[in-house]
Structure 1
Amino acid sequence: MSTTRLELLQTFDTLLQPARFKDYGPNGLQVEGKPEIQRIVSGVTASRALIEAAIEARADAIFVHHGLFWRGQSGVITGWMKQRLALLLAHDINLFAYHLPLDAHPTLGNNAQLGLQLGLSTPTEGRRFGDNDLGFLGQRSDGGVFASGDALAAHVELCLKRPVTLVPGAPGAIQNVAWCTGGAQSYFEAAIAAGAQAFITGEISEPQAHYARECGVSFIACGHHASERYGAPAVAGHVAAQLGLEHSFIDIDNPA
Protein backbone atom coordinates (compact mmCIF):
# COMPACT_ATOMS: atom_id res chain seq x y z
CA MET A 1 0.00 0.00 0.00
CA SER A 2 0.97 3.65 -0.28
CA THR A 3 -0.11 7.04 0.95
CA THR A 4 0.47 10.61 -0.10
CA ARG A 5 3.05 12.90 1.40
CA LEU A 6 0.26 15.22 2.60
CA GLU A 7 -1.70 12.41 4.27
CA LEU A 8 1.43 11.19 6.04
CA LEU A 9 2.22 14.70 7.26
CA GLN A 10 -1.33 15.19 8.51
CA THR A 11 -1.23 11.85 10.33
CA PHE A 12 2.04 12.72 12.07
CA ASP A 13 0.73 16.19 12.97
CA THR A 14 -2.54 14.82 14.35
CA LEU A 15 -0.67 12.37 16.53
CA LEU A 16 2.11 14.68 17.77
CA GLN A 17 0.35 18.08 17.77
CA PRO A 18 3.41 20.22 16.98
CA ALA A 19 1.43 23.49 17.21
CA ARG A 20 1.41 23.07 21.01
CA PHE A 21 5.17 23.57 21.24
CA LYS A 22 7.58 26.46 20.91
CA ASP A 23 10.51 24.48 19.59
CA TYR A 24 14.13 24.94 18.54
CA GLY A 25 13.42 24.21 14.89
CA PRO A 26 10.63 23.36 12.44
CA ASN A 27 8.51 20.29 13.17
CA GLY A 28 6.94 18.33 10.33
CA LEU A 29 8.09 18.06 6.73
CA GLN A 30 11.60 19.54 6.50
CA VAL A 31 12.55 18.32 3.02
CA GLU A 32 10.00 17.57 0.31
CA GLY A 33 10.45 14.38 -1.69
CA LYS A 34 8.24 12.16 -3.83
CA PRO A 35 4.45 12.60 -3.49
CA GLU A 36 3.66 8.88 -2.99
CA ILE A 37 5.11 6.98 -0.04
CA GLN A 38 5.33 3.24 0.58
CA ARG A 39 8.38 2.81 2.84
CA ILE A 40 9.42 4.78 5.93
CA VAL A 41 12.78 4.55 7.66
CA SER A 42 12.99 5.96 11.18
CA GLY A 43 16.10 7.01 13.07
CA VAL A 44 17.28 9.36 15.77
CA THR A 45 19.16 11.97 13.70
CA ALA A 46 19.11 12.95 10.02
CA SER A 47 22.81 12.21 9.63
CA ARG A 48 24.42 11.36 6.32
CA ALA A 49 24.87 7.77 7.53
CA LEU A 50 21.13 7.44 8.19
CA ILE A 51 20.24 9.00 4.84
CA GLU A 52 22.59 6.63 3.03
CA ALA A 53 21.10 3.66 4.89
CA ALA A 54 17.59 4.84 3.99
CA ILE A 55 18.59 5.05 0.34
CA GLU A 56 19.88 1.48 0.56
CA ALA A 57 16.55 0.46 2.10
CA ARG A 58 14.68 2.19 -0.78
CA ALA A 59 12.84 4.47 1.61
CA ASP A 60 10.45 7.13 0.36
CA ALA A 61 10.46 8.98 3.68
CA ILE A 62 12.67 9.33 6.74
CA PHE A 63 11.24 10.10 10.19
CA VAL A 64 13.64 11.46 12.84
CA HIS A 65 13.84 13.26 16.16
CA HIS A 66 16.77 15.51 15.20
CA GLY A 67 16.19 17.09 11.80
CA LEU A 68 18.41 19.31 9.67
CA PHE A 69 17.33 22.81 10.67
CA TRP A 70 17.64 24.57 14.02
CA ARG A 71 16.99 28.04 15.37
CA GLY A 72 20.04 30.31 15.01
CA GLN A 73 21.68 28.04 12.45
CA SER A 74 23.61 29.51 9.54
CA GLY A 75 21.48 29.59 6.40
CA VAL A 76 24.28 28.59 4.04
CA ILE A 77 24.16 25.22 2.29
CA THR A 78 27.77 24.04 2.38
CA GLY A 79 29.79 21.15 3.76
CA TRP A 80 27.84 18.52 5.71
CA MET A 81 24.51 20.29 5.11
CA LYS A 82 25.03 20.25 1.34
CA GLN A 83 25.98 16.57 1.46
CA ARG A 84 22.87 15.57 3.39
CA LEU A 85 20.49 17.69 1.33
CA ALA A 86 22.06 16.55 -1.94
CA LEU A 87 21.39 12.91 -1.05
CA LEU A 88 17.79 13.59 -0.03
CA LEU A 89 17.04 15.62 -3.14
CA ALA A 90 18.85 13.30 -5.55
CA HIS A 91 16.81 10.34 -4.29
CA ASP A 92 13.57 12.29 -3.83
CA ILE A 93 13.23 11.29 -0.16
CA ASN A 94 10.90 13.13 2.22
CA LEU A 95 12.36 14.11 5.60
CA PHE A 96 9.98 14.42 8.56
CA ALA A 97 11.38 15.65 11.89
CA TYR A 98 9.65 16.18 15.25
CA HIS A 99 11.65 17.37 18.23
CA LEU A 100 9.77 18.32 21.43
CA PRO A 101 6.47 16.81 20.19
CA LEU A 102 8.21 13.45 19.91
CA ASP A 103 9.63 13.77 23.43
CA ALA A 104 6.23 14.60 24.89
CA HIS A 105 3.79 12.06 23.43
CA PRO A 106 2.28 10.25 26.44
CA THR A 107 2.62 6.69 25.10
CA LEU A 108 4.79 6.68 21.97
CA GLY A 109 7.23 9.51 22.69
CA ASN A 110 10.85 9.31 23.76
CA ASN A 111 10.11 9.69 27.46
CA ALA A 112 7.22 7.22 27.53
CA GLN A 113 9.23 4.67 25.57
CA LEU A 114 12.34 5.10 27.72
CA GLY A 115 10.16 4.43 30.75
CA LEU A 116 9.02 1.17 29.15
CA GLN A 117 12.61 0.17 28.41
CA LEU A 118 13.59 0.80 32.02
CA GLY A 119 10.54 -0.86 33.54
CA LEU A 120 9.24 2.37 35.02
CA SER A 121 5.53 3.06 35.36
CA THR A 122 3.77 5.32 32.89
CA PRO A 123 3.02 8.48 34.87
CA THR A 124 -0.55 9.15 35.90
CA GLU A 125 -2.19 12.58 35.70
CA GLY A 126 -0.11 15.16 37.51
CA ARG A 127 3.11 13.13 37.37
CA ARG A 128 4.77 15.32 34.74
CA PHE A 129 7.12 18.26 35.27
CA GLY A 130 9.29 20.81 33.46
CA ASP A 131 8.61 22.95 30.40
CA ASN A 132 5.82 21.51 28.23
CA ASP A 133 5.45 18.76 30.87
CA LEU A 134 8.23 16.85 29.15
CA GLY A 135 9.59 15.26 32.33
CA PHE A 136 8.08 12.02 33.65
CA LEU A 137 7.94 10.92 37.30
CA GLY A 138 7.14 7.35 38.21
CA GLN A 139 8.13 4.15 39.96
CA ARG A 140 9.09 0.62 39.08
CA SER A 141 6.34 -1.12 37.15
CA ASP A 142 6.72 -4.25 39.30
CA GLY A 143 6.07 -2.30 42.48
CA GLY A 144 9.58 -2.74 43.83
CA VAL A 145 12.26 -0.20 44.70
CA PHE A 146 15.91 0.25 43.76
CA ALA A 147 18.19 -0.50 46.68
CA SER A 148 20.42 2.52 45.95
CA GLY A 149 21.56 4.95 43.28
CA ASP A 150 24.22 2.41 42.32
CA ALA A 151 21.55 -0.26 41.84
CA LEU A 152 19.48 2.06 39.65
CA ALA A 153 22.54 2.99 37.57
CA ALA A 154 23.38 -0.70 37.07
CA HIS A 155 19.78 -1.34 35.98
CA VAL A 156 19.93 1.50 33.41
CA GLU A 157 23.24 0.20 32.07
CA LEU A 158 21.77 -3.28 31.67
CA CYS A 159 18.63 -2.02 29.91
CA LEU A 160 20.37 0.41 27.55
CA LYS A 161 23.52 -1.69 27.05
CA ARG A 162 25.95 1.16 27.66
CA PRO A 163 27.84 2.72 30.60
CA VAL A 164 26.25 5.62 32.45
CA THR A 165 27.53 8.48 34.58
CA LEU A 166 26.20 8.41 38.14
CA VAL A 167 26.41 11.14 40.76
CA PRO A 168 24.91 9.45 43.83
CA GLY A 169 22.56 11.30 46.15
CA ALA A 170 21.53 10.28 49.62
CA PRO A 171 22.06 6.63 50.62
CA GLY A 172 19.07 4.33 50.82
CA ALA A 173 16.33 2.92 48.62
CA ILE A 174 14.93 4.81 45.64
CA GLN A 175 11.22 4.66 44.88
CA ASN A 176 10.42 7.86 42.95
CA VAL A 177 12.37 8.13 39.69
CA ALA A 178 12.18 11.06 37.29
CA TRP A 179 13.41 10.98 33.72
CA CYS A 180 13.61 13.17 30.63
CA THR A 181 15.55 12.11 27.55
CA GLY A 182 18.31 13.89 25.66
CA GLY A 183 19.88 17.12 26.87
CA ALA A 184 17.46 17.68 29.74
CA GLN A 185 19.96 18.18 32.54
CA SER A 186 18.45 21.63 33.19
CA TYR A 187 15.24 19.83 34.28
CA PHE A 188 17.03 18.39 37.32
CA GLU A 189 15.86 21.11 39.71
CA ALA A 190 12.25 20.67 38.55
CA ALA A 191 12.59 16.91 39.07
CA ILE A 192 13.85 17.51 42.62
CA ALA A 193 10.92 19.85 43.30
CA ALA A 194 8.53 17.19 41.97
CA GLY A 195 9.73 14.73 44.60
CA ALA A 196 12.24 12.61 42.68
CA GLN A 197 14.85 10.60 44.53
CA ALA A 198 16.76 10.04 41.28
CA PHE A 199 16.78 11.67 37.85
CA ILE A 200 17.75 10.03 34.55
CA THR A 201 18.58 12.01 31.41
CA GLY A 202 21.01 11.90 28.52
CA GLU A 203 23.65 14.45 29.49
CA ILE A 204 25.26 16.06 32.51
CA SER A 205 26.67 19.57 32.88
CA GLU A 206 28.82 20.97 35.66
CA PRO A 207 26.06 22.21 38.05
CA GLN A 208 24.15 18.92 38.28
CA ALA A 209 26.85 17.10 40.25
CA HIS A 210 26.63 19.73 42.98
CA TYR A 211 22.81 19.66 43.04
CA ALA A 212 22.85 15.86 43.38
CA ARG A 213 25.22 15.94 46.35
CA GLU A 214 23.61 18.91 48.07
CA CYS A 215 19.98 17.85 47.55
CA GLY A 216 20.51 14.10 48.04
CA VAL A 217 18.99 13.17 44.66
CA SER A 218 20.95 10.80 42.41
CA PHE A 219 21.70 12.00 38.88
CA ILE A 220 22.25 9.53 36.02
CA ALA A 221 23.40 10.56 32.53
CA CYS A 222 22.92 7.65 30.14
CA GLY A 223 23.75 9.31 26.80
CA HIS A 224 21.75 11.68 24.63
CA HIS A 225 21.43 9.27 21.71
CA ALA A 226 21.04 6.21 23.94
CA SER A 227 18.06 7.76 25.72
CA GLU A 228 16.30 8.80 22.50
CA ARG A 229 16.41 5.60 20.42
CA TYR A 230 12.84 4.55 21.16
CA GLY A 231 10.36 7.30 20.29
CA ALA A 232 11.03 7.57 16.55
CA PRO A 233 10.48 3.86 15.77
CA ALA A 234 7.43 3.76 18.05
CA VAL A 235 5.74 6.70 16.31
CA ALA A 236 6.80 5.78 12.77
CA GLY A 237 5.82 2.14 13.32
CA HIS A 238 2.43 3.16 14.69
CA VAL A 239 1.71 5.48 11.76
CA ALA A 240 3.01 2.97 9.20
CA ALA A 241 0.67 0.30 10.57
CA GLN A 242 -2.22 2.77 10.54
CA LEU A 243 -1.62 3.66 6.88
CA GLY A 244 -0.48 0.25 5.65
CA LEU A 245 3.12 1.28 4.95
CA GLU A 246 6.43 -0.54 5.35
CA HIS A 247 8.63 0.65 8.20
CA SER A 248 12.11 -0.11 9.49
CA PHE A 249 14.21 1.49 12.22
CA ILE A 250 17.92 2.10 11.55
CA ASP A 251 20.04 2.92 14.58
CA ILE A 252 23.23 4.78 13.67
CA ASP A 253 25.54 4.27 16.63
CA ASN A 254 26.53 7.39 18.52
CA PRO A 255 28.65 7.41 21.71
CA ALA A 256 27.12 10.72 22.89
Structure 2
Amino acid sequence: MTVNREELESFFSGLLNPQEFEDYGPNGLQITGKEKINRIAFAVSACRESITAAIAKNADCLVVHHGLFWKFHGPLTLTGAFGKRVIPLVKNDINLFGYHLPLDANLKVGNAKALADKIDLIKLNTFGDYKGMPTGAWGSFDQAIEVNKLHQLLEKILNHSVILACPEGMNKISTLGIITGGANSQWRLAKDLNLDGYLTGEISEHDWHESQEAGIAMFAGGHHATEKFGICALMEKTKDEFGIDCFFIPSNNPA
Protein backbone atom coordinates (compact mmCIF):
# COMPACT_ATOMS: atom_id res chain seq x y z
CA MET A 1 0.00 0.00 0.00
CA THR A 2 1.04 3.59 -0.66
CA VAL A 3 -0.03 6.83 1.00
CA ASN A 4 0.47 10.36 -0.22
CA ARG A 5 2.56 12.58 2.07
CA GLU A 6 -0.16 15.24 2.29
CA GLU A 7 -2.77 12.60 3.11
CA LEU A 8 -0.58 11.23 5.91
CA GLU A 9 0.02 14.72 7.30
CA SER A 10 -3.72 15.41 7.23
CA PHE A 11 -4.38 12.18 9.12
CA PHE A 12 -1.86 13.05 11.83
CA SER A 13 -3.21 16.59 12.12
CA GLY A 14 -6.80 15.41 12.47
CA LEU A 15 -5.86 12.88 15.13
CA LEU A 16 -3.35 14.89 17.19
CA ASN A 17 -4.49 18.51 16.63
CA PRO A 18 -0.96 19.96 16.71
CA GLN A 19 -2.22 23.42 15.78
CA GLU A 20 -3.76 23.74 19.26
CA PHE A 21 -0.44 23.40 21.09
CA GLU A 22 2.26 25.94 21.81
CA ASP A 23 5.25 23.64 22.08
CA TYR A 24 9.01 23.63 22.61
CA GLY A 25 9.50 23.14 18.88
CA PRO A 26 7.56 22.60 15.64
CA ASN A 27 5.05 19.77 15.34
CA GLY A 28 4.22 18.10 12.05
CA LEU A 29 6.33 17.74 8.92
CA GLN A 30 9.91 18.78 9.71
CA ILE A 31 11.68 17.50 6.58
CA THR A 32 10.00 16.99 3.20
CA GLY A 33 10.86 13.79 1.37
CA LYS A 34 9.13 11.57 -1.18
CA GLU A 35 5.55 12.39 -2.09
CA LYS A 36 4.55 8.72 -2.27
CA ILE A 37 5.20 6.75 0.92
CA ASN A 38 5.38 2.94 0.92
CA ARG A 39 7.02 2.22 4.28
CA ILE A 40 6.98 4.18 7.55
CA ALA A 41 9.42 3.92 10.46
CA PHE A 42 8.41 5.03 13.96
CA ALA A 43 10.79 5.87 16.82
CA VAL A 44 10.81 7.84 20.05
CA SER A 45 13.50 10.26 18.86
CA ALA A 46 14.99 11.49 15.59
CA CYS A 47 18.62 10.66 16.32
CA ARG A 48 21.45 9.19 14.27
CA GLU A 49 20.54 5.71 15.51
CA SER A 50 16.91 5.85 14.36
CA ILE A 51 17.70 7.68 11.12
CA THR A 52 20.36 5.12 10.19
CA ALA A 53 17.92 2.28 10.90
CA ALA A 54 15.16 3.94 8.87
CA ILE A 55 17.50 4.25 5.89
CA ALA A 56 18.76 0.66 6.26
CA LYS A 57 15.18 -0.65 6.28
CA ASN A 58 14.13 1.40 3.24
CA ALA A 59 11.64 3.66 4.99
CA ASP A 60 10.19 6.58 3.05
CA CYS A 61 9.09 8.33 6.23
CA LEU A 62 10.18 8.54 9.87
CA VAL A 63 7.65 9.53 12.54
CA VAL A 64 8.93 10.45 16.01
CA HIS A 65 7.93 11.96 19.33
CA HIS A 66 11.15 13.98 19.68
CA GLY A 67 11.89 15.80 16.44
CA LEU A 68 15.01 17.65 15.35
CA PHE A 69 14.28 21.28 16.16
CA TRP A 70 13.88 22.76 19.65
CA LYS A 71 13.61 26.34 20.82
CA PHE A 72 16.09 25.74 23.63
CA HIS A 73 18.75 24.69 21.09
CA GLY A 74 18.50 27.98 19.22
CA PRO A 75 19.52 28.28 15.54
CA LEU A 76 21.49 25.29 14.25
CA THR A 77 23.60 24.80 11.14
CA LEU A 78 23.90 21.53 9.22
CA THR A 79 27.47 21.00 10.37
CA GLY A 80 29.17 18.68 12.82
CA ALA A 81 27.11 16.08 14.65
CA PHE A 82 23.78 17.75 13.82
CA GLY A 83 24.61 17.80 10.12
CA LYS A 84 25.52 14.11 10.23
CA ARG A 85 22.12 13.47 11.78
CA VAL A 86 20.03 15.52 9.34
CA ILE A 87 21.78 15.28 5.97
CA PRO A 88 21.19 11.51 5.51
CA LEU A 89 17.43 12.12 5.74
CA VAL A 90 17.64 14.72 2.98
CA LYS A 91 19.97 12.64 0.80
CA ASN A 92 17.65 9.64 1.04
CA ASP A 93 14.50 11.70 0.44
CA ILE A 94 12.92 10.59 3.73
CA ASN A 95 10.04 12.54 5.25
CA LEU A 96 10.32 13.38 8.94
CA PHE A 97 7.26 14.01 11.12
CA GLY A 98 7.56 14.94 14.79
CA TYR A 99 4.79 15.28 17.40
CA HIS A 100 5.76 16.25 20.93
CA LEU A 101 3.10 17.60 23.32
CA PRO A 102 0.25 16.60 20.98
CA LEU A 103 1.34 12.98 21.37
CA ASP A 104 1.86 13.33 25.12
CA ALA A 105 -1.67 14.58 25.68
CA ASN A 106 -3.79 12.64 23.19
CA LEU A 107 -6.44 10.43 24.81
CA LYS A 108 -6.58 8.03 21.84
CA VAL A 109 -2.93 7.24 21.10
CA GLY A 110 -0.98 9.46 23.50
CA ASN A 111 1.92 8.47 25.73
CA ALA A 112 -0.06 8.81 28.95
CA LYS A 113 -3.11 7.06 27.50
CA ALA A 114 -1.07 4.14 26.17
CA LEU A 115 0.78 3.71 29.46
CA ALA A 116 -2.46 4.01 31.43
CA ASP A 117 -3.90 1.15 29.38
CA LYS A 118 -0.91 -1.01 30.29
CA ILE A 119 -1.61 -0.65 34.01
CA ASP A 120 -5.43 -0.80 33.74
CA LEU A 121 -6.01 2.80 34.75
CA ILE A 122 -9.59 3.71 33.84
CA LYS A 123 -11.93 6.72 33.61
CA LEU A 124 -9.20 8.81 32.02
CA ASN A 125 -9.27 12.60 31.97
CA THR A 126 -6.85 15.11 30.51
CA PHE A 127 -4.12 16.18 32.91
CA GLY A 128 -1.26 18.66 33.03
CA ASP A 129 -1.02 22.20 31.78
CA TYR A 130 1.47 23.77 29.41
CA LYS A 131 0.27 27.18 28.28
CA GLY A 132 -3.34 26.15 28.58
CA MET A 133 -3.12 22.70 26.99
CA PRO A 134 -2.97 19.27 28.66
CA THR A 135 0.18 17.17 28.61
CA GLY A 136 -1.00 13.86 30.07
CA ALA A 137 -3.88 11.98 31.66
CA TRP A 138 -5.18 10.97 35.06
CA GLY A 139 -7.50 8.21 36.07
CA SER A 140 -8.43 5.67 38.71
CA PHE A 141 -7.96 1.99 39.38
CA ASP A 142 -11.01 -0.24 39.57
CA GLN A 143 -9.72 -1.27 42.99
CA ALA A 144 -7.00 0.41 45.03
CA ILE A 145 -3.62 -1.08 44.14
CA GLU A 146 -0.73 -1.66 46.51
CA VAL A 147 2.06 0.85 45.92
CA ASN A 148 4.73 -1.85 45.87
CA LYS A 149 2.69 -3.95 43.44
CA LEU A 150 2.32 -1.00 41.07
CA HIS A 151 6.04 -0.30 41.41
CA GLN A 152 6.88 -3.86 40.37
CA LEU A 153 4.34 -3.80 37.54
CA LEU A 154 5.79 -0.60 36.13
CA GLU A 155 9.32 -1.97 36.18
CA LYS A 156 8.11 -5.01 34.25
CA ILE A 157 6.12 -3.02 31.68
CA LEU A 158 8.78 -0.36 31.17
CA ASN A 159 11.69 -2.80 31.30
CA HIS A 160 13.43 -0.09 33.29
CA SER A 161 14.17 0.66 36.92
CA VAL A 162 11.54 2.88 38.53
CA ILE A 163 12.35 5.31 41.33
CA LEU A 164 9.59 5.41 43.93
CA ALA A 165 9.14 8.26 46.38
CA CYS A 166 6.35 7.11 48.69
CA PRO A 167 4.98 8.86 51.78
CA GLU A 168 5.39 6.92 54.99
CA GLY A 169 2.32 4.83 55.74
CA MET A 170 0.87 4.98 52.21
CA ASN A 171 0.27 1.37 51.19
CA LYS A 172 -2.31 1.67 48.41
CA ILE A 173 -3.37 4.22 45.81
CA SER A 174 -6.64 4.63 43.94
CA THR A 175 -5.87 7.51 41.56
CA LEU A 176 -2.84 8.34 39.42
CA GLY A 177 -1.74 11.19 37.19
CA ILE A 178 0.61 10.50 34.27
CA ILE A 179 2.81 12.87 32.31
CA THR A 180 5.57 10.93 30.59
CA GLY A 181 9.11 12.12 29.95
CA GLY A 182 10.68 15.04 31.78
CA ALA A 183 7.76 16.34 33.82
CA ASN A 184 9.28 15.82 37.25
CA SER A 185 7.84 18.97 38.85
CA GLN A 186 4.27 18.31 37.76
CA TRP A 187 3.48 16.11 40.76
CA ARG A 188 2.14 19.37 42.21
CA LEU A 189 -0.74 19.20 39.73
CA ALA A 190 -1.54 15.73 41.05
CA LYS A 191 -1.58 17.21 44.53
CA ASP A 192 -3.92 20.00 43.40
CA LEU A 193 -6.38 17.37 42.12
CA ASN A 194 -6.09 15.32 45.33
CA LEU A 195 -4.68 12.36 43.42
CA ASP A 196 -2.81 9.65 45.30
CA GLY A 197 0.07 9.14 42.89
CA TYR A 198 2.00 10.56 39.97
CA LEU A 199 3.96 8.80 37.23
CA THR A 200 6.54 10.47 35.01
CA GLY A 201 9.93 9.75 33.48
CA GLU A 202 12.37 11.82 35.53
CA ILE A 203 12.76 12.97 39.12
CA SER A 204 14.91 15.69 40.68
CA GLU A 205 16.56 15.39 44.07
CA HIS A 206 14.23 17.91 45.70
CA ASP A 207 11.11 16.35 44.13
CA TRP A 208 11.91 13.06 45.84
CA HIS A 209 11.59 14.79 49.21
CA GLU A 210 8.85 17.28 48.41
CA SER A 211 6.40 14.89 46.73
CA GLN A 212 6.52 12.53 49.71
CA GLU A 213 6.10 15.36 52.17
CA ALA A 214 3.07 16.55 50.18
CA GLY A 215 1.47 13.09 50.37
CA ILE A 216 2.03 12.01 46.74
CA ALA A 217 3.47 8.64 45.73
CA MET A 218 5.76 9.55 42.84
CA PHE A 219 7.04 7.03 40.29
CA ALA A 220 9.84 7.94 37.84
CA GLY A 221 10.38 5.29 35.18
CA GLY A 222 12.77 6.88 32.71
CA HIS A 223 12.20 9.55 30.07
CA HIS A 224 12.65 7.27 27.08
CA ALA A 225 11.05 4.22 28.70
CA THR A 226 7.80 6.03 29.51
CA GLU A 227 7.51 7.45 25.99
CA LYS A 228 7.72 4.28 23.89
CA PHE A 229 4.05 3.44 24.04
CA GLY A 230 2.45 6.48 22.44
CA ILE A 231 4.51 6.33 19.27
CA CYS A 232 3.74 2.60 19.01
CA ALA A 233 0.02 3.30 19.44
CA LEU A 234 0.26 5.93 16.70
CA MET A 235 1.99 3.36 14.49
CA GLU A 236 -0.84 0.85 14.98
CA LYS A 237 -3.44 3.54 14.27
CA THR A 238 -1.59 4.44 11.06
CA LYS A 239 -1.48 0.78 10.00
CA ASP A 240 -5.21 0.45 10.59
CA GLU A 241 -5.99 3.63 8.66
CA PHE A 242 -3.87 3.03 5.56
CA GLY A 243 -2.87 -0.65 5.59
CA ILE A 244 0.70 0.50 5.01
CA ASP A 245 3.91 -1.25 6.05
CA CYS A 246 5.11 0.22 9.36
CA PHE A 247 7.83 -0.75 11.84
CA PHE A 248 9.17 0.50 15.17
CA ILE A 249 12.83 1.29 15.79
CA PRO A 250 13.75 0.53 19.43
CA SER A 251 16.57 2.20 21.34
CA ASN A 252 18.62 1.15 24.34
CA ASN A 253 18.58 4.72 25.71
CA PRO A 254 18.67 4.25 29.52
CA ALA A 255 17.75 7.84 30.42
For normalisation by structure 1, the TM-score amounts to: 0.93
In structure 1, the residue matched to 2:167 is 169
Structure 1: gaps of 5 or more residues: none
Assess, with a 3 A threshold, how the Cα gap between structure 1 residues 72 and 130 changes in structure 2: closer, same or farther. closer
Cα distance in 1 for residues equivalent to 2:134 and 2:82: 32
Is 1:87 the counterpart of 2:88? The answer is yes
Any idea what SS the aligned residue of 1:176 has? strand
Q: How many residues align?
A: 251
Any idea what SS the aligned residue of 2:250 has? coil
Any idea what SS the aligned residue of 1:230 has? helix
In structure 2, the residue matched to 1:136 is 137
Residue 62 of structure 1 and its aligned partner are, at CA, apart by: 0.4
Residue 160 of structure 1 and its aligned partner are, at CA, apart by: 1.4
Is 1:230 the counterpart of 2:229? The answer is yes
Q: In angstroms, what is the RMSD of aligned CA positions?
A: 1.5
Cα distance in 1 for residues equivalent to 2:82 and 2:123: 38
In structure 2, the residue matched to 1:78 is 79
Residue 119 of structure 1 and its aligned partner are, at CA, apart by: 2.1
Assess, with a 3 A threshold, how the Cα gap between structure 1 residues 185 and 83 changes in structure 2: closer, same or farther. same
Assess, with a 3 A threshold, how the Cα gap between structure 1 residues 122 and 250 changes in structure 2: closer, same or farther. farther
Q: What amino acid is aligned across from residue 151 of structure 1 in structure 2? A: K
CA displacement, residues 46-76 of structure 1 (integer Å, 9 cap, x when unaligned): 0111111111211000000000000132322
Residue 150 of structure 1 and its aligned partner are, at CA, apart by: 2.7
Assess, with a 3 A threshold, how the Cα gap between structure 1 residues 56 and 122 changes in structure 2: closer, same or farther. farther
Cα distance in 1 for residues equivalent to 2:151 and 2:41: 32
In structure 2, the residue matched to 1:201 is 200
Between 1:169-178 and 1:186-195, the stretch displaced more is: 169-178
Q: What amino acid is aligned across from residue 166 of structure 1 in structure 2? A: L
Residue 122 of structure 1 and its aligned partner are, at CA, apart by: 4.5
In structure 2, the residue matched to 1:41 is 41
In structure 1, the residue matched to 2:60 is 60
In structure 2, the residue matched to 1:18 is 18
CA displacement, residues 116-162 of structure 1 (integer Å, 9 cap, x when unaligned): 122222515xx63433222322122xx22222x33321221122122
Q: What amino acid is aligned across from residue 69 of structure 2 in structure 1? A: F
Asked if the contact 1:170–1:218 (Cα under 8 Å) also holds between the matched residues in 2, the reply is: no
Find the partner of 1:158 among 149, 156, 169. Answer: 156
More strand by share: 2
Between 1:223-232 and 1:151-160, the stretch displaced more is: 151-160
Cα distance in 2 for residues equivalent to 1:173 and 1:105: 28
Structure 2: gaps of 5 or more residues: none
In structure 1, the residue matched to 2:9 is 9
Any idea what SS the aligned residue of 2:239 has? helix
In structure 2, the residue matched to 1:216 is 215
Q: What amino acid is aligned across from residue 68 of structure 2 in structure 1? A: L
Q: What amino acid is aligned across from residue 43 of structure 2 in structure 1? A: G
Any idea what SS the aligned residue of 1:175 has? strand
Residue 214 of structure 1 and its aligned partner are, at CA, apart by: 1.3
